[in-house]
Structure 1
Amino acid sequence: MRIRILALLVVAALSSGCGAEEPLCLGDDVFFRGACVDPVRRYEPAAQLDADNVVAYGEPLQDLTLPPPPKSGFRIVAPPRTLAPGEEISFCLSWPIPALKHDIVHGGRLYTTPGLHHSNMVAKPVQPDLGPNPYPNCHPGADDPFSNVGAGIPDVLFANSTQVVGEETIQFPEGMGYVLDTTREISTSIHFLNTKTEPQRIELAYDFFTMPKDELTQEVAPFVVQISDFSIPPHTTESVGTTCTVFGGHVVSFMPHTHDLAQEFTVDFLTADGGSRRVYEDGTYDLASDIRNYDPPLDLEGVTAIRHACLFDNTRDVEVHYGLGLNEMCILFGYIYPPVKQFAGLVSQDGKPCSSLQLGLFR
C-alpha cells in the first residue's frame, strides 16, 4: 500500500511539472495528449462515435464482465458453448462488420474464459456466388484464410496466444494500424479445448479500436511462418525450427503459437555476414499472453532472414506431429510495416528450406 501511495505522489508531482515534462503513468497506461490512458483507447473520442457497433450471437454472457464497447470501433461476441470434460472442438464462426466511421484499427482486445485454444480472426471478401455467411455460421471453407485469396489478401484482425485466459491485447505503436476493408465479413477458425474434469462454459468477445485516417503514420500488415510437418519421438526433447528470408521493413509485434509440450520459443535476426541477434525468447507453456508489442519497432535494415525455433519435450508415449489434439505446432505470427514488406513463409517439412513469399507485392 505504501508503494502505491508513493507512486501516486510521484505521478501528482510530475503532473504538476516538478522534475519532468511527462507524468509517470501507472500499470500499462501511456501518456498521450496530456493524460495517462489505456493505449487501446488513446484515440477514443469523448462521445460515442459508432452507434450499433456490437454484433453478438447466442445467449447473453454470464461469466465475462466486459467494459463499455469502443466509442470508435466495434465489438463482436461469440455464442457461448459448453464443452464436456476433455472435449475438443474446431469450428467456424462469422460476423458482419458493423457500420463504422473510421476503418483504421490501431488495437484489439480479446476477453475469454478458460477453454479458448486459439482463434484466427480474419476479414475476407463476401463470395459473390454464395453471398454473406449465414452468421454466426459459415459457408464451407470460410475459415480458411487463403480460400478465395484471388479476391484479395485477407485482413488478419487478431490471433491469440494458446489457451490464454482473461484479456489479451494487440496494440500497435502510436500512429500505426491496419486498414480494415469494411465491405468484407469476419470469419474465424475457432478451437475450443476443455482441459478440466468438469463441464466448462466458454465465453469469448473481442473489441477493435479505430482511429481517424489522418492519425495514421504507418500502415501495418500481418506476416506468418509455419512449419507444416514434423515429428518428435516419444519421451524425447527436440527442437523444430526454420530460417526464412525477409524483405526489410519494421516488425511491430511477434506472437508464437505452440501447445503444451513447448519448453522454449526463440526468434533471431540473421544478417548477410553471418551475424545473429536474439530478439524474442519465451519459456515453457502457460496460460499468459505471449504477444510481444514493440515500441519502437524492430528494424529489419540489414537483416536477411528470421530464424524461429521451438523446443519440445515430448513426455507422451506416442510420437507427436504437427496438428491439433495431443500434437504440436511451431508457428510465428506478427505484424510488419510498410505493407509492401508483408511476407509468408512455409516449410513443408522440418529440415527442408523455407519458401518465403513477399505477399506485399500483390496488395
Structure 2
Amino acid sequence: MARRSLVVLALACACQPQPVPGDSEGASTATTSDGTTSAGGTMEAPTTGEQEPETATVVHSFGNYLMTPYLEIEPCVQWTLHNDEAIYVNAVTLVNDGGFHHSNWFAVPEQVFAGEDGFWDCGSREYNEITAAVEGTVLFAQSTQSRQEVMQLPAGAVIKIPPRHKIVAGVHLLNLGSTDLDSELRMALDIIHPRDVDVVLAAMHLDYRDLAIPANKRSRFTGACSFKSTFEKATGKPFEMKLYHVLPHYHYLGEYFGLQVLGGARDGEFLFQLDGFNGDANGRTFDPPVDLADADGLRFACGFNNWLSKDIGYGIGDQEMCMMLGLVDARVMIESRVTEGTQLVGVDGEVLLNEAECANYAVFKNPAQAPPTAKELGAPLYVPPTDPGDVDLEPTKDCADSVTTVAPDVPATLTSVRDSIFAPSCIFSSCHDASAPAAGLDLQTAAGLADRLVGVPALADTPHDLVTPGDPAASWLYRLVSECEPQNGAGAAVRHMPFNAPTLLPDPLVAKLRAWIEAGALDD
C-alpha cells in the first residue's frame, strides 16, 4: 500500500505505482438546460429569446481500460478542464462498464501531477490524495463496485472547481473474470450559475484503520470521533458544521455501516445506516443538511461477516476497509481516524463489539475555495471548452437488448459461464455470493451450481424457471441479462442485470449463456 499521512480526505483504496495499457484519449461535451451545446469557453445565448440558462452539464469520457483476466491494478486517471473561470458543481455522475472497484476524485490545479490526460501510472507523478486534497478539493467518491452513480447535492450546495484545474483520481480496478474486460469510464458534472450558489462544501473523512477481523466470526468496529475541540483550536471560533452528504466504504465482507451523532442532546441519533453489500450507489444527501453545532462530533461503525478461515486486516485485495467521506459546510476540513487502541467491549448476539477513540485533525481549506465573486455573480454562466468529437456524449449510456446473432464466447460450459459471467458481474458486487446471496441465489459456490439453476423457480413474479434447458426465452436468468427491460409475469418491466449497470453484458458473453442453455444446460 502507498504511504499515507495524517490527512486523507477521501475514501481510499491505496494507490501504488502500476503499469498501464495504452491510453485512450478522452473528450468532453457540455449541454445547457435548454438543449443548446457549448463548444467554447462561454455558453452561447439561446436564440429563442428565452432567459439565458442557469445550468449546464459537462460530460467526459476517459476512454476504455482493458483489464486482462484476474487483473488487479491501481492506476490514476485525469481530465484537464481547460477552464478559464471557476465552475460550481451541484451534481456528479460516474458510469463504468464494470471492474471499477472504487475511485476517489479530486480537482487540482493543472500543474499538480503534471502530465497527459487519460490513464497513467500514479507513481510516475508522485500522486497522493493528501496533496490532491490540500492543493485542490475533494470532488467525489465512488461507492464500492458501483457501475452507475449520481451524487446530487441540495440546491445551492456545490463543489467549487477554480480556474485552470483538472480532475484526477486514483482508481482500483479488479477483473475477477476469465475473459478480458474492456471498460469505459465516463463522468458528468452538473454546474450551476454562481448567483445560485449558497454554500461551497468541504470534505471530511472518517477512517477505522485498526481492523482485526477474526476468522469465521461476525464483528463490528465503532469509532468515536469527537472533533469539536480540534475544530475550535484550529479556527479560534465556536464549533459550526452542517453535514450535506455521506458515503460509506467497505469491501465484500462488510455487512453494516452506521453513522450517529456523538455528544450533545442528540447523542446516539442515527443519521445513516446501511445493511448488507450490493454494489449499488450507497451515498446519501441530506436536504436540509444536518446541523452538528450542538454535538461533539460523529460516531461511525462498520460490521463484517468474515466467513473466511483467516483473520482479515486493513487493506486492499482480500483485506477490508471501514471509512466514510462526508461533504460539509465548515471552516476547515476534518480528518478523524482510528489507528490504535481498539478494545473488545462486548457481544451482541453473535457479533463481537469493538470500540476505539478517533484521533482528529483539522486542515484549512485551500484559499481558492472561496464563495463566488461579484464579477462571477454578474457574468453569464461559464461552461468549460468542449472537445468537438464528444459534443453529443450523454452522461449515461443507452441500453440496447443483446443481439442474438452474435457468436458466443467459447467454451459454452457452465464452468466457463461461472468464471466469465457470474464471477465478475454477479459475484463481484456480492449480490450473489456464498455469504448472503440475493434472492437466495448463490452463484459463487461451484458445487451444486447446476442444481441451484436448472429447473428451479425464480423468486420473482415470473412463470419461468431460472434456467429452462433448451429454451433461453423461458429462462428468467437469460431474460435478465439479455433484455434492457425484462417483463415479469404481470407485464411490468423489472431491473436488468448486472445490478446497477446502465447497459447489458457484452453480446458474446450473453450469447455464451444462451448457447449453454440451448445445448441443454448441462452440468460440466
Q: TM-score of the superposition, structure 2-length normalised?
A: 0.53
- Alignment partner, residue 106 of structure 1: 90
- In structure 2, the CA distance between the partners of 1:168 and 1:52, relative to structure 1 (3 Å rule), is farther
- How many Å apart are 1:153 and its aligned residue? 4.2
* Alignment check: 8 A CA contact 2:267 2:295 kept: no
For residues 170-228 of structure 1, what are the alpha-carbon distances to aligned partners after superposition, in whole Å with 9 as ceiling and x for unaligned? Answer: 11111111211232322210111123343322221100111111111122112111123
CA distance in 2, matches of 1:134, 1:274: 49
Partner of 1:64: none
Q: 1:46 aligns with which of 34, 43, 47?
A: 34
CA distance in 1, matches of 2:222, 2:320: 13
Is the 2:243–2:286 contact (alpha carbons within 8 Å) kept by the matching residues of 1?
A: yes
Aligned with 2:69 (options 74, 82, 85): 85
CA distance in 2, matches of 1:91, 1:228: 23
Return the match for 2:339 from 342, 345, 348.
348
Change (3 A) 1:158 1:274: closer
Whether contact under 8 Å (2:55, 2:192) holds in the other structure is no
Q: CA RMSD in A?
A: 2.6
* 231-240 or 341-350, which deviates more: 341-350
Say which is worse superposed, 246-255 or 172-181, in terms of deviation: 246-255
Q: Is 1:293 equivalent to 2:293 in the alignment?
A: no
Is the partner of 2:195 in helix, strand or coil? helix
2:160 to 162, 179, 185: 179
* 2:293 is the counterpart of 1:309: no
Q: How does 1:5-44 map to 2 (within 5 A)?
A: 44=32
Q: How many correspondences in the alignment? A: 299
Determine whether 1:225 maps to 2:206. yes
Q: Secondary structure at the match of 1:157?
A: strand
- Other-structure match for 2:129: 145
Q: Distance in 2 between matches of 1:164 and 1:249?
A: 29
Q: In 2, Cα distance between the equivalents of 1:350 and 1:180?
A: 38
Question: Is 1:133–2:115 an aligned residue pair?
Answer: yes
User: How many angstroms does 1:98 deviate by?
Assistant: 3.0
**CA distance 1:238–1:139, change in 2 (3 Å):** closer
Change beyond 3 A, Cα 1:239–1:139: closer
| Residue of structure 1 equivalent to 2:464 | none
Structure 1 position 265 matched with structure 2 position 253: no
CA distance in 1, matches of 2:71, 2:163: 35
Match among 41, 66, 80 for residue 96 of structure 1: 80
Letter of the 1:190 partner, please give it: V
Following the alignment from structure 2 to structure 1, what is the Cα–Cα distance between the partners of residues 61 and 117? 12
Given that residues 102 and 171 in structure 2 are in contact (C-alpha distance below 8 angstroms), is that contact kept between their aligned partners in structure 1?
yes
Q: Deviations over 1:245-285 (max 9, x none)?
A: 24432111110000010111000002236831011110111
Matched residue SS, 1:146: helix
Does the 8 A contact of 1:124 with 1:187 survive in 2?
yes
Q: Secondary structure at the match of 2:74?
A: strand
Contact 1:177 1:220 in 2 (8 A): yes
Q: Is the 8 A contact 2:107 2:136 kept in 1?
A: yes
Matched to 1:146, the amino acid is I
Contact 1:72 1:101 in 2 (8 A): no
User: In the alignment, what sits opposite 1:156?
Assistant: 138
Q: 1:142–1:206: structure 2 CA closer, same or farther, 3 Å change rule?
A: farther
1:275 counterpart (267, 276, 279): 267
Q: Distance in 2 between matches of 1:355 and 1:329?
A: 17
Q: Contact between 2:86 and 2:161, CA under 8 Å: does it hold in 1?
A: no
Letter in structure 1 aligned against 2:75: F
Is 1:50–1:74's contact at 8 Å kept on the other side of the alignment? no
Residues 219, 337 of structure 1: 8 Å contact kept: yes
Q: Higher strand fraction: Structure 1 or Structure 2?
A: 1
Residues 329/337 of structure 1: CA separation in 2 closer, same or farther (3 Å cut): same
In structure 2, distance between residues paired with 1:101 and 1:358: 29
CA contact 2:73–2:174 (8 Å) conserved in 1:
yes
Contact persistence 1:49–1:101 (CA under 8 A): no
1:195 pairs with 2:176: yes
Q: Which residue of 1 aligns with 2:361?
A: 357
Identity %: 22
Kept after mapping to 2: 8 A contact 1:109/1:208: yes
Distance, in Å, in 1 between the alignment partners of 2:56 and 2:84 is 8
* C-alpha displacement of 1:354: 1.4
**AA at the equivalent of 2:222:** G
Distance 2:114 2:32 in 1: 30
1:147 aligns to what SS in structure 2? helix
Question: After the TM superposition, which segments of 4 or more aligned residues of structure 1 sit over 6 Å from their partners?
Answer: none
Kept in 2, the 8 Å contact 1:48–1:72? The answer is: no
Q: Which residues of structure 1 form unaligned runs of 5+?
A: 1-42, 54-69
Query: Does the aligned pair in 2 maintain the 1:118–1:161 contact within 8 Å?
Result: yes
Change (3 A) 1:148 1:188: closer
1:292 shift after superposition: 0.6
- State the alpha-carbon separation in 2 of the partners of residues 121 and 313 from structure 1: 29
Q: Which amino acid aligns with 2:177?
A: K
Which of structures 1 and 2 has the bigger CA Rg? Answer: 2
Tell me which of 232, 236, 244 is aligned to 2:217.
Answer: 236
Structure with higher helix content: 2
Cα deviation for residue 344 of structure 1 reads: 1.4
AA aligned to 1:210 is I
Q: Is the 8 A contact 2:215 2:306 kept in 1?
A: yes
